[in-house]
Structure 1
Amino acid sequence: MRNLAALLDSTAAKHPGRTAIVFGDSRLSYAQLDAASNQVANLLAAHGVRPGDKVALSCPNLPHFTIIYFGILKAGATVVPLNVLLKPREIACHLDDSDAVAYFAFEGTTDLPIGESAAQAFEETEDCRSLFIVPAAAAPPPWADQPADFDTVDVDDDETAVILYTSGTTGRPKGAELRHRNMRDNALAGEDLFAADAENPDTYLCVLPLFHSFGQTVIQNGAVAFGGTMVMLPRFDARAALTLMLTETVTFFAGVPTMYWGLLGALGDGADGPALAANLRVAVAGGSALPGEVHKEFKARFGVTILEGYGLSETSPVASFAVYGREPRVGSIGLPIPGVEMKLINDDWSDVPDGPEAIGEIAIKGHNVMKGYYGRPEATGEALRNGWFRSGDLATKDADGFYYIVDRAKDMIIRGGFNVYPREIEELLLTHPAVSLVAVVGVPHDSHGEEIKAVVVRNPGHDDVTEHDIVSWTKERLAAYKYPRIVEFRDTLPMTATGKILKREI
């Protein structure tokens, strides 16, 4: 069986009584997870969803996400996970671009009305036929009356399992098509990377968003592959995370640097450190560089070395990682994982000669590299050549083959672990009647890593438009992690002779 869902089929058959998911006071065994996913697959089949169809999913870190995710896969369809912070306009664009025929959305809360946004977006699309709202209360889910048996559809290894949306420098979101083998092999890499063992499974704190590739592969799919337990936390809160790590005996934590910063701050001078250190086996980080002091303090307080890795949505995501059991090289993203090659290239794809000072763009080849961008042959051709994917990230490589990022993909901003691409925000701002010219940049921020700033040149006659006006206008149109919190007005922007804005001078 080549379907990614076979990971669940296999674990449920071997370990039906093991706890798959912990959420609050509820416990879900692998047998229960498998049965619920089968019900989702039957629901989709009853609504005419066929193998190869695309099914979208908007849900925070709740058991529903994993149930629906594997149910879509069991039906032979492709999962299109969407960020729960997206606004209706953005959701509709993703539904249209992915050709989604069905859409699952968690009802949400007053503060985050996911279901309302989903319904509005659904009405704005023509080809999405079915909308399933998953209730937030104790009401039965849409699949409750479906049979709990379903024969997982076998698929070709190269069929698309997941489409993950990632913005590009053009600002237009692109859907990275990840094959079943891409996602499966990346999840199973945990055996080499973290010494994952199905006979002694880990308990994972699941706080990285599951709609993102990091949480989806390393936590969810990794846990299912090795029969581990996921302790779900829908939103990161350092104190709540520490409490769960203690009460649920968490052995595996993965997070972005700001989460580690938060955990250390919440631990304070309390006595929890030794107890946490006694349980925790693995800690992994990604998203952006982890400061050396955080490495040092976390090892002292929690008893484990943080393993830093590197990857992108287009690489399923893991491409390189620090070596388990060895002291980290602070600042390094590690070595390519087994089955993956990396090298440094120039703009013309030629190889950069080896040398300690040599800087080049990281190119990646291996079992983890995507099929391409859905419906975007031009963008695919620019990103892929002879099996190599160009990352856009500049790096150096030391004599032992360890890579070090020196600059991020062009102008990308990383805010709280989320990738934000300025061009998308700039294109939206240029539709505001007061905006003549704009440059969006990242500025340092203590807890988020970077904050988003828009530098605006106003059109004549719009001097009464304020910073607050611009912030409020974008907040209504962009996901919460995308809109600029800082706005600065200028008379001009620095430019090159060819008319390109010099962001490094802003």
Structure 2
Amino acid sequence: MLNLSSVLEDSARNNPDGTAIVFGDMRLPYSMIETVACQVANLLVSRGIGKGDKVALACPNLPYFPFVYFGILKAGATVVPLNVLLHAREIAYHLDDSDAKALFCFEGTAELPLGERGKAGFESAEGCEQFFVLPATPLATESEYGESFWAALGGMSGEFSTVQTSADDTAVILYTSGTTGRPKGAELSHQNMLMNVMVSDKMFPRTEGGDAYLAVLPLFHSFGQTVCMNTGFMRGATVVLMPRFDPGEALAAMSREKVTFFAGVPTMYWAMLTKIHTENVEVPTSLKVASAGGSASPVEVLKDFEQTFGLSILEGYGLSETAPIASFNQLGRPTKPGTIGTPIWGVEMKLIDADWKTVEGEGPGEIAIRGHNVMKGYYGRPEATAEVMRDGWFRTGDIATRDADGYYSIIDRAKDMIIRNGFNVYPREVEELLVTHEGVSLAAVVGVPHDAHGEEIKAYVIRTPGSSVTDEELIAWTRDNMAAYKYPRIVEFRDELPMTATGKILKRELR
């Protein structure tokens, strides 16, 4: 018997009164999360949903998320977390593609009409039979969109004997953001998810007197789910939920709740540092670990954070398909800023070429991963699975180099690479240079079609406050600082850049 819900159950047994979740003024103990999760499991069983069935969950970082997530797992079913920014048509696609039997959907707000979209998506999905609304008003038993969660839980027992699942049963199906074609569901087993939590827990020393995790990364995404919620719960920590990232609010929550662990994407660190420097916001002092992933952090941000917080950002790397962590700058080994560290315990990495042949030495090559963290495959897609999996190895689509000590550095996504006049240009290298210019706060570089060169290099730039640098000046400056085939010929200034819900810059919208 191996079930991911044990990360909650053990802490609820050992520390029932410990604060599991902080959300605004709410402080919820482990015993309550466990009780409501048991009620959810009983509800599912009463509606004929059980072992092996798929249940979708569309919810921001609210207490509902762990209630439902662990309830689904206890029932032996598979959780299908959905990005909260999806529209009705996309929700229907995910429900159909995953064969979901039920959908738990947050009612939403005026800015995010999730209930309306979820209801419409549910109605046009073929096999989905149950729709439960997670009301925006706490404990509300009615909703205009359908059956309220709280009404459905009425009369359900707060005790439940977790269904026996085996290590290889599917715990979670995580949909990849679909940068290429339609999103695919990565099937992750209880063992995939649980081993990643255990390795994450072991990698960071526990704080005497207990840990507090700030969970602002979306829990529907693998990084927030494994590293913040599941690892936090496993060690009986307090998980402070934030549904939307706001740099000022994040810094205030860190100080108020004495947060010891923060995981974020580079744009979050950039925004918090900008806030501290422009508005003299107090720097939180309780932080013990700051980790980053999702995309490579600009070296300037890493330096600035260390000077400001007296702490290094530890960068790691992973994908939905690897549950997610694959490599990390681990404590107890030298941290190498700008690298993604070394493979975590029990995981191997290598560099390969387009034909799966191993690339020796520094590379560059495409990262391939093998270990306890690699998914079973893409749900219902044997061809897509065969393209990326071979002999237990998973090919990532990320191009990297490797130094003599075995530290990997991502150069770029294979598909983000720009080919100008036959030369390979890696956007990240151009972005790294641009953000060292005093007039540049953030940059994203893409290739745009060009008749003569195949692709031309274009930079989208957010200026630093008060800067009036022009496109001609930036183009001339980059030309003086890098090879002729690499520098951007076009610069466009923006006040903001399009980002995913997890804070990654959406390059496909810029192309």
Q: Normalising by structure 2, report the TM-score.
A: 0.80
Equivalent residue runs for 1:310-329 within 5 Å: 310-329=317-336
From 222, 229, 238, the counterpart of 1:229: 238
Spell out, residue by residue over 1:203-259, the C-alpha distance to the aligned partner (whole angstroms, 9 max, x if none). 001100011110000000010111111101100000001110111110101100010
Displacement of 1:383 after TM fit? 0.9
Partner residue, 1:246 = 255
SS in 2 for 1:410: helix
Q: Helix, strand or coil: the match of 1:347?
A: coil
For residue 445 of structure 1, report the CA deviation from its aligned partner. Answer: 4.5
Cα distance change, pair 318–23 in 1 and its aligned pair in 2 (3 A): same
Separation in 2, partners of 1:171, 1:116: 26
Match of 1:157 among 167, 173, 185: 167
Structure 2: which 5+ runs fail to align?
A: 142-148, 418-426, 429-445, 447-454, 464-503
* Whole-angstrom CA distance in 1 between matches of 2:118 and 2:315: 35
| Residues 246 and 169 (structure 1), Cα distance of their counterparts in 2 relative to 1, 3 Å cut | closer
Q: Does residue 394 of the first structure (1) align with residue 399 of the second (2)?
A: yes
Distance 2:346 2:13 in 1: 28
CA contact (8 A) 1:193 1:321 kept: no
Mapping 1:31-50, distance limit 5 Å: 31-50=31-50
Equivalents in 1 of 2:508, 2:355: separation in Å?
A: 34
1:343 to 344, 347, 350: 350
- Native 8 Å contact 1:411 1:441 kept in 2: no
User: Which residue number corresponds to residue 192 of structure 1?
Assistant: 202
Query: Superposed, which structure 2 residues align to 1:16-415 within 5 Å?
Result: 16-138=16-138, 139-140=140-141, 141-142=149-150, 143-145=152-154, 146-168=156-178, 170-196=180-206, 200-268=209-277, 270=280, 272-273=282-283, 276-277=284-285, 279-354=286-361, 356=362, 358-411=363-416
- Verify the 8 A CA contact 1:280 1:303 in the aligned structure 2: no
Identity of aligned residues (%): 56
Matched to 2:270, the amino acid is W
CA distance, structure 2, for counterparts of residue 247 and residue 282 of structure 1: 17
Within 1, Cα distance between the matches of 2:507 and 2:374?
30
For residues 460-499 of structure 1, the aligned pairs below 5 Å read none
Shift of 1:270: 3.0
Contact 2:52 2:78 in 1 (8 A): yes
| Separation (CA, whole Å) in 2 of partners of 1:484 and 1:10 | 43
Partner of 1:446: 462
Question: Shift of residue 192 of structure 1?
Answer: 3.1
Once residues 61 and 223 of structure 1 are traced to their aligned partners in structure 2, the CA distance between those partners, rounded to angstroms, is 14
Distance (Å, rounded) in 1 between the aligned partners of 2:509 and 2:409: 30
Distance (Å, rounded) in 1 between the aligned partners of 2:184 and 2:509: 25
Sort the Cα spacing of 1:98 and 1:404 in 2 relative to 1 into closer, same or farther, 3 A. same
Aligned-partner Cα distance in 1 for 2:414–2:95: 26
Q: CA deviation at 1:324?
A: 1.5
| Cα 1:244–1:54 shift into 2, 3 Å | same
Q: Distance in 2 between matches of 1:151 and 1:217?
A: 24
How many angstroms does 1:47 deviate by? 0.9
Distance of aligned partners of 1:35 and 1:481 in 2 relative to their CA distance in 1, 3 Å threshold:
farther
How many residues end up aligned between the 2 structures?
434
The structure with higher relative contact order (CA 8 Å, sep 6+) is 1
- After TM superposition, which residue ranges in structure 1, 4 or more long, deviate above 6 angstroms? 439-442, 480-485
Per-residue Cα deviation, 1:246-275 (whole angstroms, up to 9, x for no partner) = 1111010110001001111112263622xx
* TM-score (normalizing by structure 1): 0.81
2:186 and 2:90 map into 1 onto residues whose CA distance is 17
Partners in 2 of 1:373 and 1:251 — Cα distance? 35
Paired residues of 2:92 and 2:122 also in contact (CA < 8 A): yes
Partner of 2:484: none
C-alpha distance in structure 2 between counterparts of 1:239 and 1:44, whole Å? 39
Match of 1:8 in 2: 8
What residue in structure 2 maps to residue 477 of structure 1?
none
Decide whether aligned partners of structure 1 residues 169 and 23 sit closer, same or farther in structure 2, where only a CA change above 3 A counts: closer
Shift of 1:168: 4.7
* Pair 369,264 (structure 1): closer, same or farther in 2 beyond 3 Å: same
